[in-house]
Chains A and B, each alone.
Chain A
């Protein structure tokens, strides 16, 4: 086992580096509606996510997105993280940092932890900065698995903290 690793010297040297920012398009009411419908399907979502009157009566006084809403799906207004890679490319993390990835075939979301700040409202523009926090490896059922921890910090157009995500990507 000695010496067997997916982590190259280049990858190790990239730990701590940031990419970004990515900037979302303004969030719309219907972005929030569609998200809520999808995550509560087949039952209807809580009214405050789909109905303007119910949202207005809520403690927020209007629509807010479910906490886990993703304003970066499909397209973004500014993407300084882009490179010659796609969102589902297993080597995306490294390519965005300008280094070669491990070339593994499969990737899974290993888990995440999030601290929440200000909610996302219609009209909000969210900025994300991503930082490669660490790598580690573990032997698993499917071979040597590479765990990559990435930190994503989101702020809104008022520079208010929206959330911090620590994400674990498993590749094998």
Chain B
């Protein structure tokens, strides 16, 4: 059953939360062929200037898609998404992907919802801030 979305500017998306570490990163490495020492080995992470091994930016990217998909479900189609990878997702962090509706516009394609999206650590520090646009489907 698809539910018609009636978003308003300022609406917050239901967050997507994960406690992160090698369990998450190894699984992602296995599907994305991303077995890089900095993502697997604390020594390599420290040599690169971080306190431990750290997760892939591409997995933060997936978490951002997950939070948008979790919000719009079958009622929306992701048209675009962008983010910066601003800080590292080190071992043990609780990563939360969040989003907020910033704009709703009518276009020839239909109604498009613009969102600010980001991942943050347990202190609320942003890891991967960005934005997305979602086409609302009738």
Contact = CB atoms under 8 A, between A and B. Distances in A.
Interface of A: 34-35, 37-42, 46, 58-59, 66-68, 70, 73-74, 87-88, 106, 108-116, 141-142, 168
Interface of B: 2, 18, 23-24, 27-28, 30-34, 36, 38, 48-49, 56-59, 61-63, 65-66, 69, 74, 77-85, 128, 130, 137
Given A58-B74, A110-B85, A111-B83, A66 B65 contact: yes
B78 A109 contact: no
Nearest to B38: A106
Given A58-B74, A108-B57, A39 B82 contact: no
B76 to A, nearest CB: 10
Nearest to A37: B27
Nearest to A74: B33
A58 B69 CA distance: 13
A61 B29 CA distance: 30
Given A114-B80, A116-B79, A116-B80, A109 B28 contact: no
8 contacts: A34-B30, A66-B69, A67-B69, A68-B62, A109-B57, A111-B82, A112-B61, A112-B83
Contact of A142 (B34, B49, B61, B65): B49
Q: Which 9 A-B pairs have the closest CB atoms?
A: A113-B82, A109-B57, A111-B84, A39-B62, A73-B33, A38-B27, A38-B31, A74-B33, A115-B80
A115 B82 CA distance: 9
A68 B83 CA distance: 13
A81 to B, nearest CB: 15
Contacts of B65: 39, 66-68
B28 A38 contact: yes
